[in-house]
Amino acid sequence: MVIVKARSKLAAVATILSIMGLITFSLFILEEAMQTIMFGTWAAQDAGDWSLVMIGCASNRKINKILKIVNYSVGWIQPFAFVAYKSYGEAMDFYIESLERKVLRREPALFLGRKLTLTVQPVNHKKTADGYLVKTKTGLLVLSPAILKANEEITGIITSYKATVALVTKGL
């Protein structure tokens, strides 16, 4: 009788450990996929292939979404792994955002039509018939209805403006 109870408890523990392992291994494979893509973006940056870098960002964003769904739906079964993969997902969000900002600086035309929110560091303002054309510290041009202040957060759509690419803010 004692042996039967012990076997059944051991079987339950083995089942729980197997489920925990299955979940954490799946999260690990998702993490590895994102890292492989990240390594590919490094080579693409070295080659100056900014459209390929953007493909890598999009792929990592999709996989990171899957990682977060798995982690938040069943990852809590293994609390230590849950915290680790939550942190990894947040770190990947930061990497993607940072890499996209680098692409924006190098090849802003890849963002045509996209809505962006940025914090700007204006270098100079030029009054135009359409508003103020502002050159930022990063080299991005912003068309704004008003003079921009340092560290101001702005939202707009990347568009073609008089043979250049500019972020056009609300109000224009």
pLDDT, position 77 = 87
Q: Are 162 and 143 in contact (CB under 8 A)?
A: no
- Decide if 75 contacts 82 (C-beta within 8 A): yes
Quote the tokens at residue 100. 């996209």
The strand ranges marked E within the chain are 115-120, 122-128, 131-136, 141-144, 152-161, 164-169
CA of 111: how far to CAs of 23, 104, 158, in Å?
A: 36, 7, 6
Please report the pLDDT score of residue 62 as a whole number: 98
pLDDT tens profile 2-60: 777 878 777 776 677 667 767 899 999 999 999 999 999 999 999 999 999 999 999 99
